[in-house]
Amino acid sequence: RSDNWFKDAKYGLFIHWGIYAALGGIYQGEKVPYGAEWIMRNARIPGKEYRRLAEQFNPVDFHAEEIVRKAKEWGMKYLVFTAKHHDGFAMYDSKVSDYNIMNTPFGRDPLKELADECQKQGMVLGIYYSQMQDWEDENGWGNDWDYKKDEEKDFEKYFYGKVEPQVRELLTNYGEVGIMWFDTPYVMPVELCKELKRFVKDLQPDCLINGRIGYKLGDYRQMSDNEIPVLSFPGAWETPMTLNDTWGYSSIDHNWKSAKDVLYKLVDVAGKGGNLLLNIGPDERGQIPQKSIEVLDEAGEWIRVNGES
Binding site for ligand JFZ (CB under 6 A): 35, 37-38, 183-184, 224-225, 240, 247
The DSSP letter of residue 162 is I
Residue nearest to ligand JFZ (CB): 224
Q: Which is nearer to ligand JFZ, 103 or 249 (CB)?
A: 249
In our burial notation (b when 16+ CB lie closer than 10 A, e otherwise), range 101-136 reads: bebbebebbbbebbbbbbeeeebbbbbbbbbbbbbb
The 3 state secondary structure assigned to 129-161 is ECCCECCCCCCCECCCCCCCCHHHCCHHHHHHH
**Taking the complex as a whole, how short is the minimal distance between the CB of residue 127 and ligand JFZ, in angstroms?**
13
- H helices of the chain, in order, are 5-9, 39-42, 47-50, 52-56, 64-73, 110-121, 155-158, 164-172, 190-203, 259-271, 290-306
**Taking the complex as a whole, how short is the minimal distance between the CB of residue 16 and ligand JFZ, in angstroms?**
6
Q: Which is nearer to ligand JFZ, 78 or 247 (CB)?
A: 247
CB of 282 within 8 A of CB of 293?
A: no
**Taking the complex as a whole, how short is the minimal distance between the CB of residue 14 and ligand JFZ, in angstroms?**
7
The DSSP letter of residue 82 is E
Q: Which is nearer to ligand JFZ, 2 or 224 (CB)?
A: 224
Q: Which is nearer to ligand JFZ, 38 or 135 (CB)?
A: 38
- The β-bridge relationship of strands 221-222 and 179-182 is unpaired
**Taking the complex as a whole, how short is the minimal distance between the CB of residue 151 and ligand JFZ, in angstroms?**
20
Q: Which is nearer to ligand JFZ, 4 or 224 (CB)?
A: 224
Q: What is the H or E stretch that residue 12 is in?
A: strand 11-15
CA nearest neighbour of 131 among 201, 209, 65: 209
d(CA 26, CA 71): 29
Q: Which is nearer to ligand JFZ, 119 or 184 (CB)?
A: 184
**Taking the complex as a whole, how short is the minimal distance between the CB of residue 184 and ligand JFZ, in angstroms?**
5
**Taking the complex as a whole, how short is the minimal distance between the CB of residue 202 and ligand JFZ, in angstroms?**
26
Q: Which is nearer to ligand JFZ, 42 or 204 (CB)?
A: 42
CA nearest neighbour of 259 among 89, 75, 116, 114: 75
**Taking the complex as a whole, how short is the minimal distance between the CB of residue 308 and ligand JFZ, in angstroms?**
27
